[in-house]
Amino acid sequence: MIELKERNDFLNQIHLFNGLQDAELTDISVKLVERIYPAKTVIFERDAKPDGFYLIYKGKVRVVQPRERGDDFLTWLDSGDYFGEEALLEKRGNSATVITEDETIVLFLPREGFENLLKKYENLRSNFLVSIKSRNLARSIVFKWLDPNEVVYFIARRHKIRLYQALLAPFFSLALPIALIGWSFLSGTNSPAAIGAFLLVCILLWALWLVIDWGNDYYIVTNQRVVSVERVIGIYDSRQEVPLATILSVNVETDIIGRALDYGNVAVRTFVGNIKFNYVDHPDQAADMIREHWERTKAEGTQAQKDAMKNAIRTQLGLTVGQKPQEEQPPIPVSEDKEVQEKGLIRIVLANLFKLRKEEGGTVIYHKHWFVLLKQMGRPLLFLLGLAVLMVIRIWSLYNNPNQAIFEKLGNGGFRPDTILVTIPLLMLPFIGWMVWEYVDWKNDIYQITPDEIVDLDKTPLGTEERRSAQIENILSTEYKRVGLMGYLFNFGTVSIVVGGSRLEFQDVLDPAAVQSDINRRRMAHIARKSEDATNSERERMAAWLAAYHQNLEEFEPPLNAGEGDEMNRAGIMDDDKLDGQIDDLMDGPSMDDMDF
């Protein structure tokens, strides 16, 4: 039976109930009904009439949509998550089937109690509506970069006021085509109307582009990270992210208008830099969601350390080490696009000719932006275009001159091609070779991020190779810059990495913010691995010390009465529950001297 205080603490950790006082949490807690479901049990089915609101206190459930060919996996829900509210608020049948994965304890609020809850605490309704809006948006979009067990808990776009601000320019620009069309009607001439119609189409396309551009930017909170996605059609696709474990603080910034229209900025400060949700819808709920999953991540990390310590001590004492069951992976959807599945070698080669970022094993490889390639190939390309124009002019001249022909007929019945047309392709060959040289030179300049180091590799065709590298753990700071109109328009720039007294630069790379994020993530992962190795070493040392202490209890304690704990005395080991309790006390902070073995 879950105690009232434990229920209050549980509710207080969920973003839905933020802002409620202890008395209000108690009022809700006493109305919740504790239910225990065995593993692989259907809690409710799709299209069934909703019976209430469910909070997962312990365990894990799988959410699916039944189909004729089998269940379509939607998501996992874990301790602290909830379900059933959407059907209750929208007064319809359940949209999915919920099945327990493990033995699951839920706190259940019947339909009538849920409706009374929303009437009594009106501010809860907005929290539920934001959650439902976020889930609906998440279901409508597929993010291929999400991990199989990653769950999107919050997703939002910039507030519509940003769209309206962007649309002001095309709106006022409509005055010009309207004036031209009006002038055409008054003057009876067609030219102003044609120009006005052309400008009108351009302005409407501009406005449509702004709407689509606004709709392509997302702010996302998952159970693993905080993500900002920014896309500009035809120009770039940027994703900035930070792991929840690296977060230091979460702040909300709003002004008077933002508070009135429910938008603002959410600033997330981390070990590896900052990420900002600018003009995001529902900033308070977004910040609460980030804080909730940040706290969950810290709690999971602490529990993982405790479990590792317990297992280390059990290993030293020769006890059975409990194996954590492997989590079932959601099914990987199989693409029905046979053209993609049967992609030929030629298409693969062509697809990688100008690829600017790729991953091979654990290494990320970057090339300079294709705009740099165009600059390098500019001069030979201009010469080629000039020669091509000369060829077209020559062909046109021969075609229109009855006394000349592309192939001149000889007296012996043979044909001779025009000398100039033969010469021009021959003159093109050196410039084609020059372009190939520039492409190979561009392709050979690569930047690499491996799990352990960063590499700047500069190699000239048939020439020298220069390799500069640095250990990723020695990085002191990173920064990126986009310089010039082209850099901002095509989203490329230079990432500078300070290592000791030297500096490495990834020059002219696509989406420098994402490259910086890649470097910082690899750096944090490397540091985390080293820290984990050091922790494991210290854990083994401590486990050996504690095991030795347990195995020599007889030297430190009076002997037990005859027949009491014979098996324990023979093994020199305390019972499992007491051992777990002592380890929990140790991990929660008391010193060794305070532990009562």
The pLDDT of residue 587: 56
**Distant-in-sequence contacts of 456-461, Cβ < 8 A, 24+ apart:** 456/504, 456/505, 456/506, 461/437
Chain-centroid distance of CA 349 in Å reads 28
Helix (H) or strand (E) holding 56: strand 52-58
Cβ neighbors of 268 (< 8 A, separation 6 or more) are 226, 242, 247, 249, 250, 274, 275, 276, 277, 290
- In the predicted model, residues of the chain with pLDDT beneath 50 are 329-343, 345-351, 562, 564-574, 590-597
Asked whether the beta carbons of 37 and 103 are under 8 A apart, the reply is yes
CA 42, CA 45: separation in Å to the nearest integer? Answer: 7
The pLDDT of residue 123: 82
The DSSP secondary-structure symbol of 80 reads: T
Of 88, 81, 77, the residue nearest 114 (C-alpha): 88
The pLDDT of residue 534: 74
Full-model pTM = 0.64
- Per-residue pLDDT reduced to its tens digit, 6-43: 999 999 989 888 888 889 999 999 999 999 999 999 99
Tokens of 59: 């365990």
Asked whether the beta carbons of 173 and 198 are under 8 A apart, the reply is no
The pLDDT of residue 66: 87
| Distances, alpha carbon 569 to alpha carbons 304, 313, 317, 321, 554, in Å | 31, 18, 13, 21, 8
Listing DSSP states for 479-524 in one string gives: EEE--HHHHHHTTEEEEEEEETTEEEEEEEEESHHHHHHHHHHHHH
The DSSP secondary-structure symbol of 560 reads: P
In 189-248, which residue ranges form alpha helices assigned H by DSSP? 191-215
Asked whether the beta carbons of 128 and 85 are under 8 A apart, the reply is yes
Cβ neighbors of 73 (< 8 A, separation 6 or more) are 62, 63, 64, 330, 331
Residue 494 zone, left/alpha/beta (φ > 0; ψ -120 to 50; rest): beta
Measured torsion, CA atoms of residues 482, 513, 270, 280, in degrees rounded to the nearest 10? 90
Task: Return the bridge partners of 61, or none.
Answer: 77, 100
The pLDDT of residue 321: 65
Helix (H) or strand (E) holding 538: helix 512-551
Tokens of 182: 């009006």
| Phi, psi for 235 (deg, rounded to 5) | -120, -60
Cβ neighbors of 263 (< 8 A, separation 6 or more) are 158, 159, 161, 254, 279, 280, 281, 282, 283
Which string of b and e fits 41-52 if b means at least 16 CB within 10 Å? Answer: eebbebeeebbb
Asked whether the beta carbons of 488 and 497 are under 8 A apart, the reply is no
Asked whether the beta carbons of 455 and 468 are under 8 A apart, the reply is yes
The pLDDT of residue 432: 92
The pLDDT of residue 31: 92
The pLDDT of residue 561: 55
Asked whether the beta carbons of 215 and 157 are under 8 A apart, the reply is yes
Asked whether the beta carbons of 180 and 192 are under 8 A apart, the reply is yes
CA 492, CA 510: separation in Å to the nearest integer? Answer: 4
The pLDDT of residue 174: 93
CA 478, CA 473: separation in Å to the nearest integer? Answer: 13
Cβ neighbors of 503 (< 8 A, separation 6 or more) are 496, 497
The helix-helix angle for 160-173 and 175-187 (nearest 10°) equals: 30
CA 28, CA 386: separation in Å to the nearest integer? Answer: 79
The pLDDT of residue 343: 45
Of 301, 253, 294, the residue nearest 271 (C-alpha): 294
Asked whether the beta carbons of 34 and 54 are under 8 A apart, the reply is no
The pLDDT of residue 579: 59
Measured torsion, CA atoms of residues 298, 300, 301, 302, in degrees rounded to the nearest 10? 90
Measured torsion, CA atoms of residues 264, 268, 272, 278, in degrees rounded to the nearest 10? -10
CA 133, CA 155: separation in Å to the nearest integer? Answer: 9
